[in-house]
Structure 1
Amino acid sequence: MVSDNAGTERLISLNECKKVFIQRDYSKGLTVKFCADFPLEFEGKIDSNTWTSFINQLNELYLVADSVTPASIVETVVGFLSCYTSRLCFRPKWEEALERIEEMIQEHNQEVFVPRCLHVRNPIEKGFRVIEITLLDEPLPPPAPVINNTQPVLQPR
C-alpha cells in the first residue's frame, strides 16, 4: 500500500515500485555469492548491520549448498548410474538447500523487510545474477509521453 498526496492509500504491484539490484560477487569464482555492500537507497529504512547479516547468511547458505561432500558425491554417482531416476526416490541436496533459502528469504521479508517498506526477491528468479529489492514506498514515476514524429530518425544517403 502506498499513500498519495491526499492521504488515501492504494494497493500497488511490485512492478510499479522502484527497484535496487545487488550484484553477484565473482571475486571468489563462480560460486553463488552476493555483494554485501550497503546500498545508499536503504538509508533510513534499515540498519546496515541488519542488511549485512542477511546477505552474509544468504551467502553462507549458498556456500553450504555448493559444497562438495561425500554425501553429494554419492548422490551424483547414484543419480548417474540410475539415469537420474533415483531423484524420484529422494530429493537432491541442492533442491533442499534452495528450499531453505526460499524459507529464509520469506521469513526475513515478513519479519524485517516488509515492515520497513522493502521486499527481497529470491535470486533464483533472476538466474542468480542479482538480488532484486523493491522499495515499496517509492512508486515509479509515470512514463514520459511518446512523441509521434513522422520523420524517420535516419536519413538514407
Structure 2
Amino acid sequence: MSVVGPNHHTSGLPNSNPNAASVNQVSANGGSPNPSPPMRIFVQRDYRLGVAIRFVPEFPPELNGRIDQATYEFTLNQINAYFQDAENFDCNTFCESCLGFITANLVYFCRDTKYEKCLKRLSKFISEQNTRVYLPRGLQITDPVERGLRCIEIVILNDQTRSS
C-alpha cells in the first residue's frame, strides 16, 4: 500500500501550484479554490500466490476512523473473488475458446467472454459499493481495470483530519 499526498512528485509540474486555482477548481467548488489535492491510497497487487490477479487484503491505517475494517475486508475479498472466478478455467471456458478458434474469433463480436462478463460484474459491484458504503464516508474506490490491474486506488474525497 502506498499513499500519495500533496507533496507528490507531480507537485513541480505546471498548473500544480496549490495557490493558483484553475478554472475547473473554482467552478467545481462554488467559487472557492481547493488548495490541496485529495489523498490517495493504493492497494497493491498480491504476488504471494503467483501472478493471478489478487490484491493485498490488509487494512490501510489511513482508513482508520473512516470505515470499519470488516467492511473494507469484505469489499477487497469480493474483488479478489471476482478475479479468481474470471481466471478459473472450466468446461465453459474451454468450449468458449474452441468456438473462438473455429470462428476465427468472430464469435467475440457477438458475445462477451467469461472474463469480460466477470469484469463487468466487478465494475457493477464497485459502483454499488461506492454508492452505498464509500461515498457517504468521503471515500471512493477506483475500478482496478482503470489502473491497468496494477492496484486499487482509494481516494479520500473529504479529509476531516486536515486543517482548512
> TM-score scaled by structure 1?
0.78
Residue 89 of structure 1: CA displacement? 2.2
Separation (CA, whole Å) in 2 of partners of 1:89 and 1:44: 47
Q: Could you list the runs of 4 or more consecutive aligned residues of structure 1 that deviate by over 2 angstroms after TM superposition?
A: 9-13
- Please say if 1:10 is aligned against 2:29: yes
Gapped regions of structure 1 (runs ≥ 5): 1-8, 142-157
- Please say if 1:77 is aligned against 2:98: yes
Alignment of 1:25-64 (within 5 A): 25-64=46-85
Match of 2:89 in 1: 68
SS in 2 for 1:27: coil
Separation (CA, whole Å) in 2 of partners of 1:118 and 1:96: 26
Partner of residue 90 from structure 1, selected from 106, 111, 115? 111
Kindly tell me the number of residue pairs found equivalent between the two proteins.
131
Separation (CA, whole Å) in 2 of partners of 1:126 and 1:89: 27
1:85-128 residue CA offsets vs partner (Å, 9 max, x unmatched): 01122211111111000000000000000001100000011111
Match of 1:130 in 2: 151
Identity of aligned residues (%): 31
Partner of residue 116 from structure 1, selected from 123, 128, 137? 137
Task: Give the AA of the match of 1:51.
Answer: Y
CA RMSD, 1 decimal: 2.2
> TM-score scaled by structure 2?
0.75
Gapped regions of structure 2 (runs ≥ 5): 1-27
Could you say which structure has the larger radius of gyration? Answer: 1
SS in 2 for 1:100: helix
Separation (CA, whole Å) in 2 of partners of 1:28 and 1:80: 30
Separation (CA, whole Å) in 2 of partners of 1:50 and 1:27: 23
